[in-house]
């Protein structure tokens, strides 16, 4: 039986750091307001690099680190809601830049759940036995779609990317998943592309930025995330004592506090780095995993649950064994 393992993790975030104090000079806000409601202290913002560059830099590190030849990569998946172009896909830009001439490539749009969805897809290709080496990225340049005059949203988001090399393993790896979507809920939307052409009779007024009903998505996240984590435990027969870390999408530390309380587990089981990067949507889980790997927190035999939730609405969790 073929399982899918994560054999390497890397990330790349832009160098420029913008603190809450820095933001207080462009909108009416302050560090106390932002950090007490979100846990965010600073975020990395792009000074010009686009989403593809975050993936390319991450991908180079993954190939170097593992001694993998670019031509041996079979598939590249990029989870993003902020691609450089409508077409070509970010994954095709990565394929070209890394020289992965034998890989096919596509992007996935599932907002903050994008990395979990993409791992799920990669898992099926590898389990089929037809493909062996898959690069999966989550990367965003959210600063492109944030309204920098809206103090309620512009303080929340950051830029960056992370990724993983996935390969067949004999045991462990991706053990279980629980994926969902609820398209009828529009509490979080971003950049409306309106129809405008010579036969269009009614041109809608678009809004080119992220919009969120904070309270509504907060309630959504604190309801579905504990349920989804419990579903994973139910499917596998494990309890939270068998799980070393829960790695949630880094949207807001208050969401994570409530999820921990509802799961009746210690907050220390959760890996949290929202303080440093803000909300980077599809990039938040791979950046967190890459940091954990760098710190030596992911040891052979460790089980973790990753859980993504966001616009769509979409959400999903996965149990991965190291």
Catalytically annotated residues: 112, 249, 279
Q: Are strands 173-181 and 314-321 parallel, antiparallel or unpaired?
A: antiparallel
Read off the DSSP letter of residue 84.
S
Of 159-198, binders to ligand B82 (CB under 6 A) are 188
First to last CA, the chain: 17
Using CB under 6 A, which of 25, 171, 202, 215 touches ligand B82?
A: 215
Helix axes 253-262, 31-38, angle to 10 degrees: 30
Q: How far is CA 195 from CA 134, 191, 199, 204, in A?
A: 36, 13, 10, 7
Q: Is the Cβ of residue 63 or residue 210 nearer to ligand B82 in the bound state? A: 210
CA dist 87 and 164 (Å) reads 23
**Side-chain half-sphere exposure of 156, counting CA atoms within 13 A:** 18
* Alpha carbon distance 151, 29 (integer Å): 7
Toward ligand B82, which CB reaches closer, 110 or 119? 110
What is the biggest distance separating any 2 CA atoms in the chain, rounded to whole angstroms?
A: 61
Which of 116, 136, 146, 251: binder of ligand B82 (CB under 6 A)? 251
Give the pairing of strands 303-310 and 245-248: parallel
Rounded to whole angstroms, the Cα distance separating 71 from 100 reads 5
Residue 98 contacts residue 56 (beta carbons within 8 Å)? yes
Q: Which is nearer to ligand B82, 156 or 243 (CB)?
A: 156
The residue number whose beta carbon is nearest to ligand B82 equals: 214
Q: Is 112 in the site for ligand B82 (CB under 6 A)?
A: yes
Candidates 254, 262, 269, 303: give the one binding ligand B82 (CB under 6 A).
254
Question: Does residue 156 belong to the site contacting ligand B82 (CB under 6 A)?
Answer: yes
Print the binding letters for residues 265-294 with ligand B82: x by CB under 6 A, - otherwise. Answer: --------------x---------------
Stretch that binds ligand B82, among 165-173, 213-221, 267-275, 294-302 (CB under 6 A): 213-221
Is the CB of residue 49 less than 8 Å from the CB of residue 97?
Answer: no
**Which residue lies nearer to ligand B82 by CB, 19 or 47?**
19
Give the total of residues touching ligand B82 (CB under 6 A).
Answer: 18
Q: Is 37 in the site for ligand B82 (CB under 6 A)?
A: yes
Please state the separation of Cα 211 from the chain's center in Å: 18
Per CB under 6 A, does 252 bind ligand B82?
yes
Q: Exactly one of 17, 121, 214, 238 binds ligand B82 (CB under 6 A); which one?
A: 214
Interacting residue with ligand B82 among 83, 114, 248, 310 (CB under 6 A): 310
Q: Is residue 55 part of the contact set for ligand B82 (CB under 6 A)?
A: no
Interface contacts to ligand B82, rule CB under 6 A: 37-38, 112, 156, 188, 214-215, 217-218, 220-221, 251-252, 254-255, 279, 309-310
């Amino acid at each position: 039986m073929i399982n899918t393992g994560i054999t390497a993790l890397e990330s790349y975030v832009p160098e420029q750091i913008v603190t809450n104090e820095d933001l207080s000079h462009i909108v009416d806000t302050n560090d106390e307001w932002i950090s007490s409601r979100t846990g965010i202290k600073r975020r990395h913002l792009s000074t010009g690099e686009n989403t593809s560059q975050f993936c390319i830099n991450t991908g180079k590190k993954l190939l170097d680190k593992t001694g993998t030849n670019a031509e041996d990569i079979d598939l590249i998946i990029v989870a993003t809601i902020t691609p450089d172009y409508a077409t070509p896909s970010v994954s095709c830009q990565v394929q070209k830049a890394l020289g992965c001439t034998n890989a096919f490539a596509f992007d996935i749009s599932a907002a903050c759940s994008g990395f979990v969805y993409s791992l799920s897809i990669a898992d099926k290709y590898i389990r089929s036995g037809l493909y062996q080496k898959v690069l999966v990225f989550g990367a965003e340049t959210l600063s492109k779609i944030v309204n920098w005059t809206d103090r309620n949203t512009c303080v929340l988001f950051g830029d960056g990317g992370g990724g993983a090399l996935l390969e067949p393993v004999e045991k462990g790896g991706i053990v279980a998943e629980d994926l969902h979507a609820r398209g009828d809920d529009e509490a979080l939307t971003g950049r409306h592309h309106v129809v405008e052409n010579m036969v269009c009779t009614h041109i809608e007024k678009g809004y080119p930025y992220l919009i969120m009903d904070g309270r509504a998505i907060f309630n959504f996240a604190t309801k579905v995330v504990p349920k989804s984590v419990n579903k994973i435990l139910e499917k596998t027969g494990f309890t939270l004592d068998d799980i070393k870390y829960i790695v949630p999408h880094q949207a807001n530390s208050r969401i994570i506090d409530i999820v921990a309380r509802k799961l009746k587990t210690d907050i220390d089981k959760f890996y949290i780095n929202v303080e440093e990067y803000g909300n980077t949507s599809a990039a938040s889980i791979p950046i967190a995993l890459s940091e954990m790997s760098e710190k030596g927190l992911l040891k052979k035999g460790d089980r973790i649950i990753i859980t993504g939730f966001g616009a769509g609405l979409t959400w999903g969790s996965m149990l991965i064994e190291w």
